[in-house]
Structure 1
């Protein structure tokens, strides 16, 4: 049944900016990383610059923009398309969340592919292909650590507006990456989870430098597994919570 809702949501965005962002965001990251390398900021290298910019703050801004596009589709029609149909609004919200998550996953896979290609050029094909599975796993885990933001940003966009939401997400993502990700407080500040995963999985610090192999900032297997579990639970809890909120606030309109 949920598949029907997902198909309906997907059809709304045929040939739209929502689909095109799958390409635009990786291209923008490539250009930003090239500029950083040119002016001497990307000290860890091209692939390190990409993952660093993705975690702080391009990923959060991308989620915010995708959520705004999804919300705006129904707001533009003043929710008349929802009123006229006998549908479950909780499932509608969950399908929106899944659709954004799938787009974010495609972007993450493209970034993993770009990383492999760049490493093939810089380090050689054999070395890059040997680490390709690790890059893929790394970006998938980064994707998982970002999922909780989707239901939250769908809510935030309607409450604070697009500009307000962008400012909040930009500030929170920068704060989480720069100030909390390398402290024990990162467990309690979800915006710092991608940055801490980046340090552990890619060996890149929030400032773009490479971390030492025996650094205390690298999470062990148990801590990484716990962070995966917490990220998954946060996604499920927030999706359930805000789907109930969505049902009530749409009816009020």
Structure 2
């Protein structure tokens, strides 16, 4: 049943900006990272600048833009396409969440591929390919740490509007990455999870510099596994919570 809802949601965005963002976001990230290198901010190199910008705050902003485009598709028609059909609105919300998550996964895979290309230019093809599985794992876990934002941003966009939601996400992502990610408080502030994963998996600090090997800032395998579990549970919990809210909210409108 969920597959049918997912297919229906996917058909709504054929040849739309929602699909094009899969390419636009990595292209924008490459350009921003090159600018950082040019002005001397990305001192850890291009790959470090790219993953740092992705964690703070391009990843969160990408989630926000994708969520807004998904919400706007139904809002533009005053939810008439939902009222007129005998459908489960909770399933609709879950399908929207999965669709955004899949698009974000494709973007993450493209970023890992771009990192391999960049590293092959800098360090040689053999070294880059030998680390390709590590880059794939790194961006995969960064994707996982962003998943909880999808149901939250679908809710936030409807509740406070696009501009206010962008400002909130931008501030929270930067604040979490810069101030909480390197302290024990990062466990309690989800916006800091991507930055802490970045430090652990890529060895890049929130300021773009490389972390020293053996630093206490690098999570051990047990703590990393726990953070993965917390990220998954938070994503599932928020999806269930806001899918119930979505059903009531749309009926109220």
TM over 0.5: yes
Shift of 1:159: 0.6
Name the structure 2 match of 1:60: 60
Task: Specify every segment of 5 or more residues in structure 2 that has no aligned partner in the other structure, as ranges.
Answer: none
For the pair 1:172 / 2:172, whether they are aligned, the reply is yes
Give 1:1-40 correspondences, 5 Å limit. Answer: 1-40=1-40
Deviations 1:195-217 (A, max 9, x none): 00000000000000000111000
Give the root-mean-square deviation of aligned CA atoms: 0.3
Secondary structure of the 1:213 match is coil
Shift of 1:2: 0.4
Name the structure 1 match of 2:130: 130
Deviating runs (4+, > 3 A) in structure 1? none
Distance 1:213 1:127 in 2: 19
Task: Specify every segment of 5 or more residues in structure 1 that has no aligned partner in the other structure, as ranges.
Answer: none
Secondary structure of the 2:161 match is helix
Distance 1:35 1:248 in 2: 45
Give 1:122-161 correspondences, 5 Å limit. Answer: 122-161=122-161
Deviations 1:103-136 (A, max 9, x none): 0000000000000000000000111011000000
Secondary structure of the 2:44 match is coil
Distance 2:47 2:166 in 1: 26
Name the structure 1 match of 2:199: 199
Name the structure 1 match of 2:95: 95
Distance 2:226 2:160 in 1: 32
**How many aligned residue pairs are there?**
253
TM-score w.r.t. length of structure 1: 1.00
Name the structure 1 match of 2:45: 45
Distance 2:132 2:252 in 1: 50
Shift of 1:169: 0.2
Deviations 1:35-86 (A, max 9, x none): 1000100000000000000000000000000000000000000000000000
For the pair 1:250 / 2:250, whether they are aligned, the reply is yes
Distance 1:189 1:62 in 2: 19
Name the structure 2 match of 1:85: 85
Shift of 1:142: 0.3
Deviations 1:130-173 (A, max 9, x none): 10000000000000000000000000000110000000000000
Distance 2:60 2:160 in 1: 16
Name the structure 2 match of 1:186: 186
Give 1:102-117 correspondences, 5 Å limit. Answer: 102-117=102-117
Distance 2:212 2:166 in 1: 34
